[in-house]
Amino acid sequence: MKEQIVFNKTKIIATVGPATNSKEGLRDLISAGVDVFRLNFSHGTHEDHLKVINHINTLNDEMGTNIPMLQDLQGPKIRLGEMEKGTKIVKGQEFVITSDEMVGNDQMGSTVYKSLPNDVEPGAMILIDDGKIELKVKSVEGNKVITEVIYGGDVKSRKGINLPFSNISAPSLTEKDMKDLVFGLAHDLEWVALSFVRKAEDIVELRKLIENAGKNTKIIAKIEKPEAVDNIDEIIAVTDAIMVARGDLGVEINMEEVPMVQKSIVRKCNDAAKPVIIATQMMESMIENPRPTRAETNDVANAVMDGADTLMLSAETAAGEYPIEVVTSMVKTIKSVEKDAEIYFNHDVSVVRDSDFFYNDTLVLSACRLAKAIRAKALIGMTQSGYTAFQLSSNRPKAGIFIFTSNRPLLKTINLIWGVRGFYYNNEVSTDATIADIEKILVDHDHLKSGDAYINTASMPIDARGKTNMIKMSFVE
């Protein structure tokens, strides 16, 4: 399958679910513009996920695509237990949450999180169902948390519980997550997202598990706790990417603070050359409607203008009635922004002098500035580790970023990064011959045409595959 001539620089993640988990459903999403598939391990069995993994691998072979998979671990998600149908609680009444297993009613409910009585104190806020219901802790008596209902409503089984401003004792990586991680690593999923990250050590622990398994899976830290916001610089330093998970974050901190937190995290990630994903409620109305609201379209556009690498769709593609339409709509908005807005070179990239990669980073920055000056159509990188791809992308150049590598699995990994398209290439003989080869490939794929300027970055000697140390400006004859 020939690669599309026009593509988004801002990538799209689609969550796979009952609405899209067939081979044809996944094929349609790829054709509509999906760049990454998310497998949500809060739902489904390993057998269910394996069917999807096999479908995606087959489609990559059949379609000539490099669509990676993102394993999203559940983390210490706190949920209600089973509730009687039609249960409703009202303002001012007392409602008890117990860690004993039971079927709840309008007086008492249970939670699967056994440490809840230890983690809350009198006066603490408890939110249920993304904040639709608010409770205030009155007292803790053994394994029972006695609360007053501040805002009532319908109480449904298995709905999420959030504890804003309370410290959770459960580790970010649960026993279930460990089993799911072993499964994901066994099937070589390219990215793994760790839920409810609170500190850098959470990422370091996960990294050790991945390395001990002999894998190169990249880590995404999901930011959805106030502790993570407080420790964001340290987390960015040790992770491979960040996800601003606005659903839980929006009920764990004051909702009105989320927009500025989002913008701040995006900027920090751009500066650190770490991909950043904006997630949750991007186009939620399209779960049931064929068109987005104006507010949703503006939300998508603003995330692109802020500098997000990737936008994520959740229930919209997993369980919605219009999964293809939502991707198509998001693509249209992204393309409109990328065509008209000043999103390119929109921040000053700085290099760290005492970094081990100071010279490489300086060279990449120079290549991007040269591309801007001569209005180059392409910036080309050759890499085995993917480092050049991350660095080129962080400069947000207007030129297309094309990465050539003989590391075939890397082609999928880098498909999540802003602006990057990868090609398999394993024929490095000499610098001149390789550059001529690459030019022909890009011309054949209609990414370059006669008269176009392009910039090559590579290491010399080219067959040594060392750190990037060369820039070459060329023109297509």
Q: How far apart are CA 431 and CA 460, in angstroms?
A: 7
What is the token pair recorded at 328?
Answer: 């198509």
**Annotation says 222 is catalytic:** yes
Handedness of CA 109, 115, 116, 118 (dihedral sign): positive
How many whole angstroms from its chain centre is CA 144? 37
Give 52's contacts (C-beta < 8 A, 6+ positions apart). Answer: 16, 21, 26, 37, 39
Q: Which residue among 23, 51, 79, 465 is the active-site one?
A: 79
361: left (phi over 0), alpha (psi -120 to 50) or beta: alpha
Q: Which residue among 77, 222, 225, 421 is the active-site one?
A: 222
Q: How far apart are CA 406 and CA 409, in angstroms?
A: 9
**Annotation says 2 is catalytic:** no
Q: How far apart are CA 298 and CA 24, in angstroms?
A: 31
Q: How far apart are CA 281 and CA 398, in angstroms?
A: 28
**Annotation says 375 is catalytic:** no
Q: Which residue among 38, 218, 274, 396 is the active-site one?
A: 38
How many whole angstroms from its chain centre is CA 412? 14
Taking only Cα atoms into account, the Rg of the chain, rounded to an integer number of angstroms, comes to 24
Catalytic residues: 38, 79, 222, 280
